[in-house]
């Protein structure tokens, strides 16, 4: 009798262990996929979460969504990721708050056998190589090309001559750095356009307001502002209104949030770059599910970008 029980017990243990490794929930149901965003307070990430949740519902997977309160809170995001690794989720989808800082968490996920998909913000290639860490795929838009689109639009709007300010993202953050580099490279073709101020506003609307208000005081003749995110651009719009200069300064943002599109329709913003965050979220969940099933996925999936202006704001779909 005891001999007959041994193989049965071993089989039960094997099934239980396998279920844990695949990230099944406590009832042994659908696999758990984690989406860790930079913040849940930014319209861009709200759209990303919406797309991910819709895809998770369609596939029948259990989606866990977590984020730090602020995009600058890299340490909090690291804690979230490490906690999810400990709970043995089936796959991790992450938009890194820090391109280098996320690498140790990726290493831990690798050791735990949990595949990692990176969304929107690339991991620092050198840091990842030095740690021998691996990501299954990157899903996002070409931020450099988006920055170039913004720069080309601004150069045309200014007629190839003028004084421009820039509101940067978090220093050293791959997303903002790529957008800034693309924007600057686009302006090289028009040397008579001068960047008179380029300062960080840390992706936040209130800082966008304060920083651009200070820029307006230091450079009252500034003719345009490029913000590396719509939240900062909308903060600049408020600073422009406070200075009674609405309509006098060209404003270009990035992300094509609903509020930014409304501002373009009203004429308080001139353009923004659309990235389709909902598509990013959906693709992340879809490809994480494929990994769980043992299927191969592409190393990189590029989501198209487009420039939204007053001429096409009614027709374009930012989702």
- The domain locations on the chain are 19-140+277-303, 143-274
pLDDT at 183 over 80: yes
| pLDDT for res 70 | 87
Backbone angles phi, psi at 248, to 5 degrees: -100, -15
pLDDT band, very low/low/confident/very high, at 5 (cuts 50, 70, 90): very low
| pLDDT for res 205 | 96
Report yes or no: 92 and 36 within 8 Å, Cβ to Cβ.
yes
List, as one string, the DSSP characters of the chain.
Answer: -HHHHHHHHHHHHHHHHHHHHTTB-TTS-SBEEEEEES-SSSHHHHHHHHHHHHHHHHHT-EEEEEE-SSTT-HHHHHHHHHHHHHTT-SEEEE--SSTTTTHHHHHHHHHTT--EEEESSPPPHHHHHHHT---SEEEE--HHHHHHHHHHHHHHHTTT-EEEEEEE-STT-HHHHHHHHHHHHHHTT-TTEEEEEEEE-TT-HHHHHHHHHHHHHH-TT--EEEESSHHHHHHHHHHHHHTT-TTTSEEE-SB--HHHHHHHHHTS--EEEE--HHHHHHHHHHHHHHHHTT----SEEEPP-EEEETTTTTT----
Distance CA 115, CA 123 (A): 15
pLDDT at 18 over 90: no
pLDDT band, very low/low/confident/very high, at 316 (cuts 50, 70, 90): low
pLDDT at 213 over 50: yes
Least confident of 71-80, 141-150, 179-188, 283-292: 71-80
Better-scored residue on pLDDT, 218 or 5:
218
The CATH class of 19-140+277-303 is: alpha beta
pLDDT band, very low/low/confident/very high, at 284 (cuts 50, 70, 90): very high
Percent of the chain with pLDDT strictly greater than 90: 83
| pLDDT for res 134 | 96
CA-derived radius of gyration, the chain? 22
Better-scored residue on pLDDT, 66 or 11:
66
Location of structure tokens 């045309």: 156
Report yes or no: 183 and 147 within 8 Å, Cβ to Cβ.
yes
pLDDT at 33 over 50: yes
Give the side-chain half-sphere CA count within 13 A for 310: 11
Q: What is the pLDDT of residues 220-279, one digit of tens each?
A: 999 999 999 999 999 999 999 999 999 999 999 999 999 999 999 999 999 999 999 999
Q: Assign a CATH topology to domain 143-274.
A: Rossmann fold (3.40.50)
pLDDT band, very low/low/confident/very high, at 28 (cuts 50, 70, 90): low
pLDDT at 319 over 80: no
Q: What is the pLDDT of residues 119-174, one digit of tens each?
A: 999 999 999 999 999 999 999 999 999 999 999 999 999 999 999 999 999 887 88
pTM to 2 decimal places: 0.80
pLDDT at 2 over 50: no
| pLDDT for res 187 | 97
Distance CA 175, CA 280 (A): 15
Report yes or no: 309 and 271 within 8 Å, Cβ to Cβ.
yes
Distance CA 19, CA 31 (A): 9
| pLDDT for res 72 | 82
Backbone angles phi, psi at 225, to 5 degrees: -140, 135
């Amino acid at each position: 009798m005891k001999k007959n029980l041994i193989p049965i017990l071993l089989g039960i243990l094997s099934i239980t262990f396998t279920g844990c490794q695949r990230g099944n929930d406590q009832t042994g149901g659908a696999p758990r996929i984690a989406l860790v965003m930079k913040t849940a307070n930014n319209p861009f990430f709200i759209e990303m979460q919406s797309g991910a949740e819709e895809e998770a519902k369609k596939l029948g997977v259990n989606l866990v969504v977590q984020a730090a309160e602020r995009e600058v809170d890299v340490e909090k995001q690291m804690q979230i990721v490490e906690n999810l690794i400990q709970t043995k989720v089936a796959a991790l989808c992450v938009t890194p708050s820090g391109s280098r800082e996320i690498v140790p968490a990726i290493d831990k996920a690798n050791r735990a056998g949990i595949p990692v998909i990176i969304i929107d913000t690339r991991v620092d290639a050198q840091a990842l190589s030095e740690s021998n860490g691996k990501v299954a795929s990157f899903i996002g838009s070409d931020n450099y090309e988006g920055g170039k689109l913004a720069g080309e639009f601004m150069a045309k709007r200014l007629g190839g001559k003028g004084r421009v300010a820039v509101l940067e993202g978090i220093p050293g953050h791959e997303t903002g750095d790529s957008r800034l580099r693309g924007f600057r490279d686009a302006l090289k073709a028009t040397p008579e356009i001068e960047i008179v101020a380029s300062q960080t506003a840390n992706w936040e609307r209130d800082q966008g307001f304060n920083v651009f208000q200070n820029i307006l005081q230091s450079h009252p003749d500034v003719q345009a502002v490029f913000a590396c995110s719509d939240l900062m651009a909308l903060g600049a719009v408020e600073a422009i209104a406070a200075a009674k200069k609405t309509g006098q300064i060209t404003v270009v943002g990035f992300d094509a949030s609903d509020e930014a599109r409304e501002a373009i329709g009203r004429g308080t913003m001139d353009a923004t770059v659309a990235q389709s965050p909902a598509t990013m979220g959906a693709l992340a969940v879809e490809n994480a599910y494929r990994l769980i099933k043992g299927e191969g996925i592409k190393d990189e999936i590029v989501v198209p970008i487009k420039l939204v202006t007053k001429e096409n704001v009614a027709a374009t779909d930012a989702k």
